[in-house]
């Protein structure tokens, strides 16, 4: 049996890799899970009722693009949050979480060639892994751009050579960034959008951590694109209820952008999409419309930022995250540190290199660990203190 050559160099996904690293060793204490970005705060209790009330909808095929109610709730949310005017029928579509959307948007929108050459898709490094596999799947070259302290933990796409820019078809960008917690400023977005206008590439803005922040809501790419009067097809936004509403398992995501972009994504998904079951669409519509639980959820994370800042005060290289729920902590070697922590304390974290690309010595993630602040507050605090005492004292 033959297998596609293009996937032959894909490393094992981060979490099986972590299991292979840790699971044949005993934990050195009570286990604290700080690896996966799966929110553990409560979701609104009424979500279950809405699903039950709409359970009859499990019988039918769900609407591919999202029910009119869900699309209206999504468009309202995008317009409210970003100060734009997206139409429910023309500018948004429901996704089955952002991950598949980030993948399928490349399928629907990345051309076979850019200026007569193989296209490039720009990816931050470290990065959310689907960007790479989407690029490979569409026959583009994923081009990794380091996002380190030297560039305020966001990729500096403006510094790339002309020959790269001429081949660039798409740029993925994650703000707030997983794993570093950095937020793209208005100026950052403006420069990127101007660059995209100059070289005619699309921006895929992955903003799924946008509602978890300290005190100021991160500015969104669509907002800045509108302010600049950019091509309405230039920026495509991705967001979801997974982090905003602690509903990673509901799988409600959104894509928002220009009408031609959305039309193209709808076309592809009418053949190959996996729409959200109708009762879940009904629940998702209500969740997008509610902000009370989002504010309560954010307040819990704000307490967690305060705990992290206190625990790591004085630790050299500690970066207080601006947003999101990860700590990106500097260490000598991320893999060795994750193993040591597990064996000595039972705290489970992810080596940074599992989220980044590059040869040893060149990989911008290898001297980091990623720590997810998702566990309940007291457990999370215990995990952070144990971690600090094990690796920084
Ligand atoms: C940066 C980033 N983008 C997208 C996703 C996918 O989230 P979902 O598919 O649940 O919306 C995640 C999930 O961890 C993420 O960290």
Quick check: bond before 260 cis, omega within 30?
no
Query: Is domain 61-290 given the CATH code 1.10.340.70 in the classification?
Result: no
Q: Quickly list H helices, the chain.
A: 14-22, 46-53, 68-82, 98-109, 130-137, 162-167, 186-199, 221-228, 241-244, 259-272, 278-289, 292-311, 334-345, 377-391
Domain 5-42+293-391 carries which CATH code?
A: 3.90.1150.10
pLDDT of residue 388: 97
pLDDT of residue 148: 96
pLDDT of residue 36: 87
Contacts of 108 (CB under 8 A, 6+ apart): 264, 265, 267, 268, 269
Please tell me the residue having the least CA distance from ligand 1 atom 13.
Answer: 37
pLDDT of residue 140: 98
pLDDT of residue 339: 98
Cα 176 to middle of ligand 1, angstroms: 11
Q: Say if CB 205 and CB 220 are below 8 A apart.
A: yes
What distance in Å separates the CA atoms of residue 272 and residue 274, rounded to the nearest whole number? 7
Cα 102 to middle of ligand 1, angstroms: 9
**14, 131, 243, 287, best to mutate for ligand 1 pocket (most atoms within 8 Å of CB):** 243
For the CA of 37, the nearest atom of ligand 1 = 14
Cα 67 to middle of ligand 1, angstroms: 23
**178, 210, 252, best to mutate for ligand 1 pocket (most atoms within 8 Å of CB):** 178
In 3D space, the residue among 228, 231, 207, 230 whose CA is nearest the CA of residue 219 turns out to be 207
pLDDT of residue 38: 86
Q: In three state form, how does the secondary structure of 250-312 look?
A: CCCEEEECCHHHHHHHHHHHHHHCCCCCHHHHHHHHHHHHCCHHHHHHHHHHHHHHHHHHHHC
pLDDT of residue 256: 98
Q: Which residue has the tokens 């139409």?
A: 87
At residue 73, the 3 state secondary structure works out as: helix
What distance in Å separates the CA atoms of residue 311 and residue 257, rounded to the nearest whole number? 41
What distance in Å separates the CA atoms of residue 14 and residue 23, rounded to the nearest whole number? 14
Please tell me the residue having the least CA distance from ligand 1 atom 6.
Answer: 99
At residue 169, the 3 state secondary structure works out as: strand
Question: Pairing state of beta strands 120-125 and 168-174?
Answer: parallel
Cα 99 to middle of ligand 1, angstroms: 6
Residue 24 CB neighbours (<10 A): 7
pLDDT in tens, the chain (393 residues): 989 999 998 988 999 999 999 999 999 999 999 998 888 899 999 999 999 999 999 999 999 999 999 999 999 999 999 999 999 999 999 999 999 999 999 999 999 999 999 999 999 999 999 999 999 999 999 999 999 999 999 999 999 999 999 999 999 999 999 999 999 999 999 999 999 999 999 999 999 999 999 999 999 999 999 999 999 999 999 999 999 999 999 999 999 999 999 999 999 999 998 999 999 999 999 999 999 999 999 999 999 999 999 999 999 999 999 999 999 999 999 999 999 999 999 999 999 999 999 999 999 999 999 999 999 999 999 999 999 999 998
- Residue ranges, comma separated, of all CATH 3.90.1150.10 domains in the chain are 5-42+293-391
pLDDT of residue 222: 98
**14, 123, 128, 209, best to mutate for ligand 1 pocket (most atoms within 8 Å of CB):** 128
Strands across the sheet with 141-146, in order? 92-95, 253-256, 235-240, 202-206, 168-174, 120-125, 141-146
Tell me the DSSP string of 182-231: ----HHHHHHHHHHHHHHT-EEEEE-TTTT-BSSSPPPPHHHHHHHHT--
What distance in Å separates the CA atoms of residue 393 and residue 388, rounded to the nearest whole number? 7
**124, 147, 242, best to mutate for ligand 1 pocket (most atoms within 8 Å of CB):** 242
- 308-315: list long-range contacts, CB under 8 Å, 24+ apart: 308/373, 308/384, 311/381, 311/384, 311/385, 311/388, 312/384, 312/388, 312/392, 315/388, 315/392
Mutual angle of helices 14-22 and 334-345, in 10-degree steps: 50
Ligand 1 pocket, residues with Cβ under 6 angstroms: 37, 97-99, 128, 174, 178, 206, 208, 240, 242, 248, 253
Please tell me the residue having the least CA distance from ligand 1 atom 14.
Answer: 37
Cα 222 to middle of ligand 1, angstroms: 19
How does 239-265 read in b/e, with b if 16+ C-beta sit within 10 Å? bbbbbbbbbbebbbbbbbbbeebbebb
- Residue ranges, comma separated, of all CATH 3.40.640.10 domains in the chain are 61-290
In 3D space, the residue among 207, 209, 255, 211 whose CA is nearest the CA of residue 233 turns out to be 255
């Amino acid at each position: 049996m033959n297998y596609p050559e293009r996937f032959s160099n894909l490393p094992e996904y981060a979490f099986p890799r972590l299991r292979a690293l840790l699971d044949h060793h005993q934990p050195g204490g009570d286990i604290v899970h700080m690896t996966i970005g799966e929110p553990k705060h409560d979701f609104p209790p009424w979500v279950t009722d809405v699903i039950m009330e709409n359970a009859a909808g499990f019988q039918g095929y769900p609407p591919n693009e999202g029910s009119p109610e869900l699309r209206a709730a999504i468009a309202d949310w995008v317009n409210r949050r970003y100060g734009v005017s997206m139409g429910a029928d023309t500018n948004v579509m429901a996704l089955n979480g952002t991950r598949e959307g980030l993948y399928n948007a490349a399928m629907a929108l990345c051309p076979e060639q850019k200026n007569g050459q193989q296209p490039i898709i720009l990816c931050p490094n470290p990065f959310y892994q689907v960007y790479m596999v989407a690029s490979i799947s569409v026959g583009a070259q994923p081009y990794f751009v380091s996002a380190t302290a030297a560039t305020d933990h966001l990729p500096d796409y403006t510094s790339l050579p002309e020959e790269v820019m001429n081949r660039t078809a798409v740029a993925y960008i994650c703000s707030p960034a997983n794993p570093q917690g950095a937020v793209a400023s208005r100026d950052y977005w403006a420069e990127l959008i101007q660059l995209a206008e100059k070289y005619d590439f699309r921006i895929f803005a992955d903003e799924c951590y946008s509602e978890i922040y300290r005190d100021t809501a991160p500015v969104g790419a669509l907002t800045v694109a509108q302010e600049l009067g950019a091509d309405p097809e230039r920026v495509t936004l991705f967001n979801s209820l997974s982090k905003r509403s602690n509903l990673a398992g509901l799988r409600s995501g959104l894509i928002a952008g220009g009408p031609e972009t959305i039309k193209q994504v709808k076309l592809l998904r009418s053949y190959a999409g996996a729409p959200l079951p109708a009762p879940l669409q009904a629940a998702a519509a209500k969740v997008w419309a509610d902000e009370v639980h989002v504010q309560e959820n954010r307040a819990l994370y704000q307490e967690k930022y305060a705990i992290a800042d206190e625990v790591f005060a004085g630790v050299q290289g500690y970066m207080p995250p601006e947003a999101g729920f990860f700590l990106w902590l500097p260490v000598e070697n991320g893999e060795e540190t994750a193993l040591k922590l597990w064996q000595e304390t039972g705290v489970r974290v992810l080596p940074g290199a599992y989220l980044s690309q590059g040869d040893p010595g060149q990989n911008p993630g290898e001297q980091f660990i990623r720590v997810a602040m998702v566990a309940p507050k007291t457990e999370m605090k215990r995990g952070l203190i144990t971690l600090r005492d094990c690796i920084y004292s």
